[in-house]
Amino acid sequence: MHQPPFAELFAVCFARLRDTVGEQQQAVTRSADDAVDLAKAYSAHLEWDPVDRTAWMYFYRDDEREWIFYTDVRTFKERYALVKDRELYGFASWVLGTEDPGIWYLLPSHK
């Protein structure tokens, strides 16, 4: 069922999740800076998922493979473009304060 644009809202998550494969799995909120620091510390390669349009990486720590999905400027730009392209009423976000500070320059009031 198609809804009018004013009735749709898109949620943007700025939380960074860490999933550890092993006997226990956990999800931990990470900041954009934490993601970059972990990439440097563990020589992770920053990747781009063209289907989900999100930044991600993986690395090994203590013989366990860890994945981190995070919202960088490119990811936010893709999600913000979706909001505009679909003429959605707006978007919501949570865990503000951990995002890549570059996203603020993409928003109209910060240009």
Q: What is the pLDDT of residues 29-42, one digit of tens each?
A: 667 788 888 899 99
**What's the burial of 74, exposed, middle or buried (CB within 10 Å: 0-12/13-18/19+)?**
middle
- Shortest CA distance to 78 belongs to which of 59, 106, 44, 41? 106
2: pLDDT confidence band, cut at 50, 70 and 90? low
Instruction: Give this prediction's pTM.
Output: 0.69
Candidate CATH numbers 1.10.1840.10, 3.10.50.10, 3.40.50.1100, 3.40.50.2300; the one for domain 15-106: 3.10.50.10
